Amino acid sequence: MGFERPPQFNQGQVNQGQETSEIETPEKKITPEKKITPEQQERQKRIVDLLQERLGAEQRILTDEELANLTRQIANEVGVEGDIFANSENRPLVFYRAFSPTKEVEELVAKDENIIRPFGYAMPGIVSGKSKDLPLAYGGENPVLIRIIDTGGYWEDTAPYWGFAPHPGTWDEAINLDPIVLKKINERSLTELEARRQIGREHGNEETPFRQITFVVDKVKTESLQNDPNNLEPFLNDVGFWRELKERALNFIPPVETNEYSKKLSKKYLEYFDKTIRVDEKKIVSEAAKQALRRAQAEIYALIDKATDDNNEDSWWTAERRQQILKSFSDEARQKYSQWKGEAIE
């Protein structure tokens, strides 16, 4: 899904004075792209089909816990029980997003498959058995509520990234650092009260119904896409995505060496900045998207300018940090920067 809420999660907002060297932040290792086998495709399709069938036949609305248990049961039937929720110990299993029913949103949720772009936000309904809340306010008076079964543990608690590393696990909000492929499994109308009952709450409007679309993560396609060096191609015509990357480049500052979360987030930003520079705009159909891409690239080039400036007097941009930033860019990105700048990066 290309639609996102306005970017508020910029690198400059990480608590940079916080030392978190003792906190473990296991980082997913990106391996070379692997071809999806027919067996993997068939098992994933079977999971989606069974979820669609059983949710469609279910008269009542399942709670998050019941939905997760149904997914486990189906995974057991399909023979992949050890794979589903394998990375989700002590993590929320079901997440929510809400949007206003714009034409763009309607077109996206009508599809059987959607891809959430990097740095997307979601809210868990239940954390460690305790009810949280739903992001209905983002959808206005007539929200489209998106319910997602995160079978791979792809969303992360934003608290450590916001600078609350001593108290991780609050899960007030979650972020995905890489793209995620979703399959639609159910759509139904429900009231606010019914929606909140899914997460164990008993208050809400009982009159005006709205739509809820339930998706499950396609782990097979998600892993393949995340390992694909060209994984920005699904978002080439997504104007909002290029605008967001432009803002992230504008607000980027070097990470704190002792803050593992800060380093991880910076590394991910730089990874996508590099890919943005290397995008072939000839593949983009939308003229607005081309313009948005160029603006994002220009902001990233300005970031490289800061990193190459030996006279940069900003104490945060030390020579070591600037060098680390430059090293993160590929030869192709460096060459494109040199063409734009008219001089080579040393």
Tell me which residue has tokens 């400059």: 12
**Is the pLDDT confidence value at 8 over 80?**
no
Instruction: Assess contact for 123 and 174: CB atoms under 8 A.
Output: yes
The confidence score (pLDDT) of residue 15 equals: 32
**Averaged over 317-338, what is the pLDDT?**
94
Q: What is the pLDDT of residue 86?
A: 84
pLDDT band (50, 70, 90) for residue 20 = very low
**Average pLDDT of every residue of the chain:** 87
Query: What pLDDT sits at residue 163?
Result: 66
pLDDT category of residue 295 using cuts at 50, 70 and 90:
very high
What confidence category does residue 73 fall into, taking pLDDT thresholds of 50, 70 and 90? very high
Radius of gyration for the chain, computed over Cα atoms and rounded to the nearest angstrom: 21
pLDDT-based confidence at residue 160 (cuts at 50, 70, 90): confident
- Looking at the structure, give the CATH architecture of the domain made up of residues 34-226: Alpha-Beta Complex (3.90)
What are the tokens at 226? Answer: 């995340």
Q: Which of 155-164, 170-179, 322-331 has the lowest mean pLDDT?
A: 155-164
Length of the chain, in residues: 346
In this structure, is the dihedral angle defined by the CA atoms of residues 43, 48, 49 and 50, taken in order, positive or negative?
A: positive
Judged by average pLDDT, the poorest of 12-26, 212-226, 276-290, 331-345 is 12-26
pLDDT of residue 10: 34
Residue 324 in this model has a pLDDT that exceeds 50:
yes
| pLDDT at residue 167, rounded to an integer | 59
Q: What is the pLDDT of residue 4?
A: 43
What does the block give as tokens for 265? Answer: 């987030």
For residues 211-234, average pLDDT: 96
Rounded distance between C-alpha atoms, residue 180 and residue 188, angstroms: 23
Give the angle subtended at the CA of 113 by the CAs of 5 and 88, to the nearest 5°: 70
Q: What per-residue confidence (pLDDT) applies to 258? A: 75
- Written as one letter, the residue type at 87 is N
Residues 126 and 199: their CA atoms lie apart, in Å, by: 6
Interhelix angle 331-341/287-308, nearest 10 degrees: 90
| CA neighbor of 16 nearest in space, from 263, 250, 244 | 263
| Phi, psi angle pair for 120, to nearest 5° | -85, 150
Domain extent listing, the chain: 34-226, 233-341
Q: For 246-274, what is each residue's pLDDT tens digit?
A: 999 999 988 877 778 888 999 999 999 99
CA–CA distance, 6 with 170 (Å, rounded to integer): 22
Catalogue the long-range contacts made by 71-76 (C-beta closer than 8 Å, 24 or more residues apart): 71/47, 71/149, 71/151, 71/216, 74/47, 74/50, 75/47, 75/151
Task: Quote the pLDDT of residue 33.
Answer: 53
- Judge whether residue 165 has pLDDT over 70: no
Summarised one tens digit per residue, pLDDT across range 92-114 is 999 999 999 999 999 999 999 99
Contacts of 337 (CB under 8 A, 6+ apart): 277, 301, 304, 329, 345
Average pLDDT for residues 124-147, to the nearest whole number? 93
Instruction: Provide the pLDDT for residue 344.
Output: 54
